[in-house]
Amino acid sequence: MSNLCYLTIRELLNKLKASEITSEEVTKAYLDRISELDKKINSYVTVDVEGALEQAREADKKRSNGDEGALLGVPLALKDLIVTKGLRTTCSSKILENFVPPYDAFVTKKLKEAGAVIIGKTNMDEFAMGSSSETSYFGAVRNPWNTDKIPGGSSGGSAAAVSANLCAGALGSDTGGSIRQPAALCGVVGLKPTYGRVSRFGLVAFASSLDQIGPMTKDVEDAAILMNAIAGHDPMDSTCANEPMPDYTADINKGVKGLKIGIPEEYFTAGLDGEIEKSVRDNIKFLEDDGAKVVPVSLPHTKYGVPTYYVLAPAEASSNLARYDGVRYGFRNKDSEGLADMYKNTRKDGFGAEVKRRIMLGTYALSSGYYDAYYLKAQKVRTLIKNDFVTAFKKVDVIVTPTTPTAAFGIGEKTDDPLEMYLSDILTINANIAGIPGISVPCGFTADGLPIGLQALGAYFDEASLLRVAKVVEQKAGVLAENPSL
């Protein structure tokens, strides 16, 4: 039955509809595989064995009664900052180690309505603050392709679980590349939708103007299937756009003939690994051969992305994380004298080093006397970066770049150098600053057998064009048949 774990969402749905398999069989196969293999990669924080089996039996019952939910009976995992009613949501932090939410996130509710089986919650960088999934209170996640390497972050658990076939698909969140970067490093597909395309209601906030939930899947069509399930307007999220919802699977096989694809010189500069550049350029040639027109474009403010992000994101984090005070829910330090002491000790003991670092950075940037010099200036540069993309998309339909400057690096290699760690998101951050959609699709391997990702960036609410480009890359690159040997 473990062969079931290698099937895509589309393949599973076809077999379930044809009554060749049951959801209970599939779910059991995944649970057995997690039990056997996850100790090697640590991709899950919580596995809901009883709950998943109960959901699977319910899905089978519904199908026998003629129900055809869009994801009926498909086992999925959620990054552990998407709240799930009755199932703990920790953000991989000690401060929320035992937090059980009383409600479902919008996307959780949508998946349940579509009939999905929520198999568990995936490990991540604490409060999504990290690029390597090493800052988790529950221990580092490991890359299934080489367990001495990082899987990327912060959605490293979701990426590793999908890559290792420990779920049919997963949701992650992307604040500065946290879906696309781990997707690239683990050899899976990761889509960051346009800001506002998917509701953030029930997503534990890191940086509210940058966070976005998206799918992480085994192939491009699966990403489209999950987008159909989770996207759409939600009145509970004031930043959620009330835009028409396409069927994301409709044009996925349309090819790229006639599309104008922009290649920004700023993304192919010093620091980009040679193997990655070659693989991405080879795939750009595939797109050209398939009928796309390749056009050079310039995004002149690209170099300001990292400093802008590391003012804006920590500033919003320092505000969002003020709610974790030990009073209402979560961890509380019991050995304190007085309220102020309890606040201080709770936050000192409950948060990890990277979270504390970013809270302090953000508090400093927002403090009296520095607000204009840092936060206000960063907001102005944000507008310049956004305008670069708006101008570029007047000339082209899609922009293609590498997803990451290097392949997966070693566990512990960059933990003592925060700046070096922050630079690993240099190619993904600007899409979040501008709010545009982006996708990473596997496009090759390094000589050491580590996955390489190609990134496609699109105009606002044009995820459909990204999926078309990604589908062609997926077909031409031919890396889908590869699986990590755990």
Going from N- to C-terminal start, the domains of the chain cover 2-254, 303-379
Residue 270, pLDDT score: 82
Rounded to 10 deg, the angle between the 463-477 and 274-289 helix axes is: 100
Confidence of residue 1 (pLDDT cuts 50, 70, 90): very low
Nearest to 156 by CA among 321, 74, 41: 41
Residue 319 has pLDDT above 80, yes or no: yes
* Residue 329 pLDDT: 86
319's tokens: 């505000």
154 flagged as catalytic: yes
**Tokens representing residue 148 in the block:** 């001495």
Instruction: Determine the Cα–Cα distance for residues 78 and 76; give it in Å rounded to an integer.
Output: 7
User: Which whole-number Å values give the CA distances from 116 to 57, 102, 126, 169, 214, in the listed order?
Assistant: 12, 20, 26, 10, 16
- The Cα–Cα gap between 404 and 273 comes to 9
Separation of CA 167 from chain center: 15
CA-to-CA distance for 100 and 86, rounded, in angstroms? Answer: 6
Contact 159, 177 (CB under 8 A): no
Residue 103 burial (CB count, 10 A): 12
Q: Report the run of H or E that residue 441 belongs to, with start and end.
A: strand 438-445
Mean pLDDT of 304-311: 96
Q: Are 137 and 162 contacting, i.e. CB atoms less than 8 angstroms apart?
A: no
Alpha-carbon distance of 364 to 371, in angstroms, equals 8
Cβ count within 10 A of residue 159: 38
pLDDT at site 415: 87
Q: Catalytic: 158?
A: no
| Residue 427 CA from chain centroid, whole number | 15
Q: Would you call 32 helix, strand, or coil by DSSP?
A: helix
Q: What is the pLDDT of residue 478?
A: 84
DSSP, res 12: H
Tokens found for residue 81: 């900052």
**Terminal-residue alpha carbon distance, the chain:** 17
The pLDDT of 454-464, averaged and rounded, is: 98
What pLDDT is attached to residue 68? 86
Q: Considering all CA atoms of the chain, what is the largest pairwise distance in Å, rounded to the nearest integer? A: 70
More confident residue, 182 or 483: 182
Tell me how far apart the alpha carbons of residues 176 and 212 are, in angstroms, rounded to a whole number.
10
pLDDT at res. 218 = 97
Instruction: For residues 165 and 30, give the distance between their C-alpha atoms in angstroms, rounded to a whole number.
Output: 8
**Cα–Cα distance between 174 and 177 in angstroms, integer?**
5
**Mean pLDDT, residues 314-322:** 95
Across 357-370, average pLDDT? 93
Average of per-residue pLDDT values in the chain = 96
Of 468, 477, 460, the closest CA to residue 389 belongs to 460
Identify the burial level of 485 via C-beta atoms within 10 angstroms of its C-beta, where 0-12 means exposed, 13-18 middle and 19 or more buried: exposed
Q: Is the pLDDT of residue 251 over 70?
A: yes
Quote the Cα angle for 60-65-66, to 5°: 100
Q: For residue 383, is pLDDT > 80?
A: yes
Q: Tell me the pLDDT band of 479, cut-offs 50, 70 and 90.
A: confident
Q: Tell me if residue 61 is catalytic.
A: no
CA atoms of 344 and 359, how far apart (whole Å) = 13
Tokens of 382: 């944000």
Lowest mean pLDDT among 84-98, 214-228, 326-340, 430-444: 326-340
Token pair belonging to 346: 């709770």
Catalytic pick among 23, 28, 43, 79: 79
My answer on whether omega of the bond before 319 falls inside 30° of 0, hence cis, is: no
3-state secondary structure (DSSP) of residue 58:
helix
Q: Which of 92, 173, 178, 199 is catalytic?
A: 178
Q: Which of 23, 154, 424, 465 is catalytic?
A: 154
Q: 3.40.1080.10, 3.90.1300.10, 3.30.930.10, 3.40.50.970: which CATH number matches 2-254?
A: 3.90.1300.10
Q: Six-digit token pair at 350?
A: 């409950």
Can you tell me the distance from the alpha carbon of 478 to that of 34, in angstroms, rounded to the nearest whole number? 27
Length of the chain: 486
The burial class, CB within 10 Å (0-12 / 13-18 / 19+), for 233 is middle
